[in-house]
Amino acid sequence: MSRLADALAWRLAGGLLGNVARHAVRRYPYIWGNPSRLSIDSDVQLNDALLNCGSGSITIACDVVLGHGVSLLAGAHDHRLFGSDRKHRVPVTGRDIVIAEGALIASNATVLGPCRVGEHAVVAAGAVVVHDVPPYSVAGGIPAHVLYKLEQP
């Protein structure tokens, strides 16, 4: 019986239902916080991103690509607090994130606000960005640092 259930689950995941689910995740990222703080320009590829606008705004310019599992976290908690205060007292502003035109943020990277990823910059897979990434550069690591500069066209 479990072989039959596994076969059915595999067919559903690969069929129309699976395609609809994958399309929904790619097209509609998870947004936490106030959606009016989110600005997404034209021709942006989001995939299954997490966009947290709890403590600031997120601005994504045109031609940006976000790989799978990217987290843009403009939300924060005050680590100096304890108990339910730490959980519920969230700063309202000061954590803005800007992803400039043509930037590429590879899969499973995390960007913590406040910061700016410059024009045509690349953030490597799995990197944790805690400060600005200059334009035309490749950054990676934890915390992310500039690995090298890209040649400008």
Bond before 143 cis per omega within 30 degrees:
yes
CB within 8 A of 58, min separation 6: which ones?
37, 38, 39, 51, 72, 74, 96, 97, 99, 113
Question: pLDDT digit string (tens) for 16-46?
Answer: 555 554 444 444 566 767 778 889 988 898 8
Instruction: Tell me how crowded residue 62 is: count the other CB atoms within 10 A of its CB.
Output: 12
102-136 pLDDT, tens per residue?
A: 999 999 999 999 999 999 999 999 999 999 999 99
Q: Domain coordinates of the chain in residue numbers?
A: 27-149
What is residue 17's three-state secondary structure? helix
Amino acid found at 44: V
Q: Which fold has domain 27-149?
A: UDP N-Acetylglucosamine Acyltransferase; domain 1 (2.160.10)
pTM assigned to the model: 0.78
Give the angle subtended at the CA of 142 by the CAs of 82 and 87, to the nearest 5°: 20
pLDDT of residue 152: 85
pLDDT of residue 80: 87
